[in-house]
Amino acid sequence: MTANWLKTSILGVALISVAACSSKDEEDVYVARDVEVLYNLGQDNLKKKRYQLAAYAFDEVERQHPYSVWARRAQLMAAYSHYMTNNYDDATLAAERFLQLHPGNRSAPYAYYLIALSHYEQISDVGRDQAQTLRAQSSLTEVIRRFPNTEYARDARLKLDLTLDHLAGKDMKVGRFYMKRQEYLAATMRFRNVVENYQTTSHTPEALHRLVESYLALGVYDEAKMAAAVLGHNYPSSKWYRYSYALLSGKDMKPEGKSGSWLSKLWPF
């Protein structure tokens, strides 16, 4: 590394930092730099884990040299740098811009994966709105669909399982809330959604038991017995099956399969 290059790099960091810290009412400081200098500046900051400075440098590559080969590389590097600073919106925008301009690039799988990660990292707890969780589900599914045999798809499948479990947890929380208010029909719709759409998650046994409770409260005994039968068939050792069996026994009923039930379409006996 030459002394002149180092001097230019340090000056570049300072100028970019000044531009970043300027108020919204001021114009951005524009200092023309050679494309290789800017790109290497970004790489150097990336190696030193100065991700915000790296993102500024890579963004400058695209701004100052938009039609260069370096700009294509910088777009994805900027997306990663923004991701590492928890600036997920800018990371998503940079990755989406890369895909719009270079959809067939060999780095496209990583761009899709980075978008999915950015949504995944913003998943909120089940007590809040789950819009980001749904975006994470959609983008993770897209990675798996487009690139099924890649390492990105393997990790996406793991994260998708957690995302689905999170969405099911939200329905369970709302369903329990309705049950406490004795709004059993509304509760049933939430538990049914878990069983129909998230049956591979950890919430399914409880959802089936809550259906037994709700159907009994509504007087829909055949569906209550069917829900208990499905629960016993698939989760015979679950505490939820013991609870459901006890509930039915207290009313001189027992789990019983019934053809024609919506449950029988999901779990045929």
CA 103 and chain centroid, separation: 22
- Give me the pLDDT at residue 27, please: 47
Q: Are 241 and 228 in contact (CB under 8 A)?
A: yes
Q: pTM for this structure?
A: 0.75
- Give me the pLDDT at residue 67, please: 74
- In angstroms, the CA 234 to CA 11 distance is 66
Q: 51-64 and 69-84 helices cross at what angle (nearest 10)?
A: 150
- Give me the pLDDT at residue 219, please: 96
Average pLDDT over residues 1-14: 42
Does residue 211 carry a pLDDT above 90?
yes
Supply 129's token pair.
């709105």
Write the CA distances from 237 to 2, 56, 175, 234, 241, integer angstroms: 70, 56, 24, 9, 7
Average pLDDT over residues 206-218: 97
How many residues are given for the chain? Answer: 269
- Give me the pLDDT at residue 129, please: 73
Supply φ then ψ for residue 251, to 5 degrees: -115, 20
| 35 against 260, higher pLDDT | 260
Report the SS3 class of residue 144.
helix
- Give me the pLDDT at residue 33, please: 65
Mean pLDDT over all residues of the chain? Answer: 86
- Give me the pLDDT at residue 255, please: 94
Quote the Cα angle for 165-269-176, to 5°.
Answer: 35
Residues 92-135 pLDDT 10s: 999 999 999 888 899 999 999 999 999 999 887 766 778 888 99
Q: 151-180 and 204-218 helices cross at what angle (nearest 10)?
A: 30
Query: 21 falls in which pLDDT band (50, 70, 90)?
Result: very low
CA dihedral 198→199→200→204, nearest 10 degrees, is 100
Does residue 193 carry a pLDDT above 70?
yes
Write the CA distances from 69 to 74, 102, 103, 105, 195, integer angstroms: 9, 11, 15, 12, 50
CA 99 and chain centroid, separation: 19
Does residue 210 carry a pLDDT above 50?
yes
| Window from 144-148, 215-219, 255-259 with minimum mean pLDDT | 255-259
| 57 against 206, higher pLDDT | 206
Does residue 5 carry a pLDDT above 50?
no
Q: Which of 255, 249, 148, 166 is nearest to 211 (CA)?
A: 255
Write the CA distances from 140 to 113, 114, 125, 137, 158, integer angstroms: 7, 10, 19, 5, 10
Does residue 11 carry a pLDDT above 50?
no
